[in-house]
């Protein structure tokens, strides 16, 4: 039996998770998250300096809460996994420094792990071991990627990504245009339920015959929404927030699910995982379920709590590396804001 501590600080969430790796798999013992999102609201996006300072303040209290919840002492830890990239440099450094300090004090192995791989590993906490190969659609405020996952311990290949904005970023920017609060995903999701998804035909980026098959683009969609709203305002007409939300959301869900299902089908992959903050989206989940069922693909979407940034997913990934006998990182580990998957 092995206890693994996971630390996450790549963006605005300070996450500390603890998992137990036993003969019968992974058990989640604690998943504590402190978010600085409230401090970023008035800026309409994450401010790196503010996020770094918030991590510094939250790290030790979040750590204490996690150990209290798990009913464990620091000395029970057998290995530590920390996000070392990709993400905001200053934010990542807080988690990496904390992990190095704990690993040194406890004399346990340290694993510098990839944030994107962590999002995929999150699903194993809810649905058990991932079949190989699997296709992962990662959609959050910072990333929109299609990954082929052969092995969580180093066998992940990016097959597509956004060429401009991330899906969550598009939600946040469109929310601002139509007067909804930050972060924009939840309020747009709510408003969309009252609106008509076919009211406005917004563009589906990169879906032309000569466009990159598995890449995404959301910047044109965001601009199209802004232009449409400006035109209404110029004409002195009220902006139908519910219809704009529903039509925008339909365009995002349509493109994400169409490309993900196409990739899985082309590559002969029978399992799809959707993770990241946008995986909480009701229409995305509904359309993915419909299209995966039609294509004979098993769909796995972890609960929203595991989809957004957290330390438990990093602990789960660490457990996988320990089980696979991967060599730990050295103590001169640093943060790499652009770490590839």
- Which of Zn ion, ligand KG4, none does residue 118 bind (CB under 5 to 8 Å by kind)? none
Which residues would be at the binding site for ligand KG4 (CB under 6 A)?
Answer: 11, 140-142, 168, 171-172, 183-186, 189, 276-278, 280-281, 308-309
* Residue found by looking up tokens 């009252």 in the block: 194
Nearest approach, Cβ of 278 to ligand KG4 (angstroms)?
A: 4
Rounded-to-integer distance, Cα 17 and Cα 142, Å:
21
Nearest approach, Cβ of 32 to ligand KG4 (angstroms)?
A: 15
Candidates 264, 156, 260, 163; CA nearest to 205 is 163
Candidates 105, 91, 77; CA nearest to 5 is 77
Q: What's the CA angle centered on 23, arms 19 and 28, to 5 degrees?
A: 20
Q: Residue 134 pairs with which residues in a beta bridge?
A: 149
The count of other CB atoms within 10 Å of the CB of residue 108 is 18
Beta carbon nearer to ligand KG4, 129 or 304: 304
Beta carbon nearer to ligand KG4, 142 or 160: 142
- Which of Zn ion, ligand KG4, none does residue 278 bind (CB under 5 to 8 Å by kind)? ligand KG4
Phi and psi at residue 153, to the nearest 5°: -90, 70
Nearest approach, Cβ of 105 to ligand KG4 (angstroms)?
A: 29
Locate 273 and state its tokens. Answer: 């995982």
- Which of Zn ion, ligand KG4, none does residue 6 bind (CB under 5 to 8 Å by kind)? none
Beta carbon nearer to ligand KG4, 157 or 282: 282
Q: SS3 for 222?
A: helix
Beta carbon nearer to ligand KG4, 35 or 265: 35
Which residues would be at the binding site for Zn ion (CB under 5 A)?
Answer: 140, 309
Name the binding residues for Fe cation.
115, 119, 309
Name the binding residues for substrate.
138-142, 172, 185, 189, 281
């Amino acid at each position: 039996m092995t206890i693994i501590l996971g630390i996450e600080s790549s963006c605005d969430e300070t996450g500390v998770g603890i998992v137990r790796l036993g003969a019968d798999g992974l058990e989640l013992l604690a998943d504590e998250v402190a978010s600085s999102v409230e401090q970023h609201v008035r800026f309409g996006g994450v401010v790196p300096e503010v996020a770094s300072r918030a991590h510094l303040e939250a790290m030790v209290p979040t750590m204490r809460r996690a150990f209290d919840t798990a009913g464990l002492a620091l000395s029970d830890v057998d290995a530590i996994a920390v996000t070392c990239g990709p993400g905001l440099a200053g934010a990542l450094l807080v988690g990496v420094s904390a992990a190095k300090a704990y690993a040194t004090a406890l004399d346990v192995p340290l694993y510098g792990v990839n944030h994107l791989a962590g999002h995929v590993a999150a699903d194993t906490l809810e649905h058990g071991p991932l079949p190989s190969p699997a296709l992962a659609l990662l959609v959050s405020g910072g990333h929109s990627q299609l990954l082929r996952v052969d092995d969580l311990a180093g066998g992940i290949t990016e097959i597509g990504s956004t060429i401009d904005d991330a899906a969550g970023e598009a939600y946040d920017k469109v929310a601002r245009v139509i007067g909804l609060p930050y972060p924009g995903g939840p309020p747009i999701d709510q408003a969309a339920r009252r609106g008509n998804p076919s009211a406005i035909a917004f563009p589906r980026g990169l879906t032309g015959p000569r466009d990159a098959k598995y890449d995404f683009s959301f910047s044109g969609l965001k601009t199209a929404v802004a232009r449409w709203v400006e035109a209404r305002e110029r004409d002195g007409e009220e902006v139908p927030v519910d219809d704009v939300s529903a039509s925008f959301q339909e365009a995002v869900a349509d493109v994400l699910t169409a490309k993900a299902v196409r990739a899985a089908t082309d590559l002969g992959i029978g399992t799809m995982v959707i993770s990241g903050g946008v995986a909480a989206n009701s229409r995305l989940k509904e359309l993915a379920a419909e299209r995966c069922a039609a294509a004979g693909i098993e769909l796995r979407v972890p609960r929203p709590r595991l989809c957004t940034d957290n330390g438990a997913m990093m602990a789960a990934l660490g457990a996988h590396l320990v089980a696979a006998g991967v060599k730990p990182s050295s103590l001169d580990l640093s943060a790499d804001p652009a770490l590839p998957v």
